[in-house]
Amino acid sequence: MIAEVKKELTDHIIPFWKGLRDDEYGGYYGWLDFDLNLDKKAVKGCILNNRITWFFSNAYMCLKDESLLDEARHGYEFLRDHCLDRTNGGVYWSMSYDGKPVDTTKHTYNQAFAIYALSSYYDACGDEQALKEAYGLFDIIENRCRDEGGYLEAFDECFRPAGNDKLSENGVMAERTMNTLLHVFEAYTELYRVDKNEKVAECLRRILDCFARKIYNPGLHRQEVFFDHEYNSLIDLYSYGHDIETSWLIDRGLEILNDREYTDKLSPITEDLARNVKKTAFDGRSLANECDRGVVNTDRIWWVQAETLIGFVNAYQKDSSQRDFLDAALAEWEFIKTYSIDHRQGSEWFSAVSPDGDPDPAKRPIVEPWKCPYHNGRMCIEIIKRGVE
């Protein structure tokens, strides 16, 4: 599996995203439709560009190819010069194709992904300014995006509270979400990994407490997804992809934090999440998307499949006696390489396929503000680094 995954990374994913580089206006192009028509004047989502910067930084550290560091630098410069609001602080939601603010929403989730990108870029090249920018955004999240109960969601340009339409789905409007909390945790894990600042570690511990006490539902062996201000769940929703992603991201955070008390508290939870996802949503070769009020969405979403592979490998590495997780990971890779990867010239992965592997009937774009190499590229890097055949 490792050789095949590495080939997918080096021969397919990396060349594809290099081809999306905009050398005229900076950053990376933001839209490629299902029929592979590139829109060079589409908005450039800041999440998309920051995830690309994270990807190339980590691909460089994995493969030691100097051209990848150049791509990471290109993404960083777009973040530094365009996406950061130098007047009010924080990162905008999206930019025009030529680098002007389009959506000036300041979302906690988006600030987190900028920290994620900046931390990895700093690790890749040692640029102290990138680390300084990361801490600036860390301070913004902690001082402007958090209350006594935890992290809030959306704000306007001046950090006045706004509606959370960007991270709310399934007919609810959430004041807090599992998804934002998870990716703040992910970003802080990366920041702590590269700089070992104790104030970041304390935030990681506080987030882990919140996962254990308010997000994780032990009776249903899952996380709740959307909440009101007091962490009352708003909907009966089981997000299979987020649960398997959380299982390994929290384990990674625990490894970096290296705090025995929190490892003992959270590791059984991550094991439960992984086991229940496999039992509930894995059909022997791929993972369903979610279950909304008892109705399963069976689409095989690209990012869910990628996170499933990492999550199952992670569960096996925690306990090698659980061979079924490795077998499931190998089966998942067979599905991905056969069906999720779009083998058309000039494409990357389908956004979704059917359980039988039929291409996306909705013809969702190949590139859009949420569709990037963060999940599938990270999957390749993780499998290479973990060394599990």
Domain chopping of the chain, boundaries: 2-386
Report residue 147: phi and psi, to 5°.
-120, -170
CA separation for the pair 371, 185 (Å, rounded): 21
Of the pLDDT bands very low, low, confident and very high (cuts 50, 70, 90), residue 284 is very high
Work out the percent of the chain whose per-residue pLDDT is above 70: 100
pTM (predicted TM-score): 0.98
What mean pLDDT do residues 267-296 have?
Answer: 98
In the β-sheet with 101-103, what is the strand arrangement from edge to edge? 44-45, 94-95, 101-103
Asked if residue 162 lies in contact with residue 174, where contact means CB atoms within 8 angstroms, the answer is: no
User: Is pLDDT of 389 > 90?
Assistant: no
Report residue 216: phi and psi, to 5°.
-75, 130
For position 375, what pLDDT does the model report?
98
CA separation for the pair 84, 27 (Å, rounded): 13
- 2-386 in CATH: which number? 1.50.10.10
User: Is pLDDT of 29 > 90?
Assistant: yes
Of the pLDDT bands very low, low, confident and very high (cuts 50, 70, 90), residue 196 is very high
Q: Round to the nearest angstrom and report the end-to-end CA distance of the chain.
A: 5
What mean pLDDT do residues 224-253 have?
Answer: 98
Q: 71 is written with which tokens?
A: 């791509």
What mean pLDDT do residues 140-166 have?
Answer: 97
Report helix, strand or coil for 106.
strand
What mean pLDDT do residues 158-176 have?
Answer: 96
CA separation for the pair 147, 334 (Å, rounded): 45
pLDDT in tens, 95-109: 999 999 999 999 999
What mean pLDDT do residues 377-381 have?
Answer: 98
CA separation for the pair 331, 191 (Å, rounded): 34
Report helix, strand or coil for 296.
strand
For position 96, what pLDDT does the model report?
98
For residue 162, count CB atoms less than 10 angstroms from its CB and return exposed for 0-12, middle for 13-18, buried for 19 or more. middle
CA atoms within 13 A on the CB side of 28: 32
Of the pLDDT bands very low, low, confident and very high (cuts 50, 70, 90), residue 286 is very high
User: Is pLDDT of 388 > 90?
Assistant: no
Residue identified by tokens 């973040």 is 79
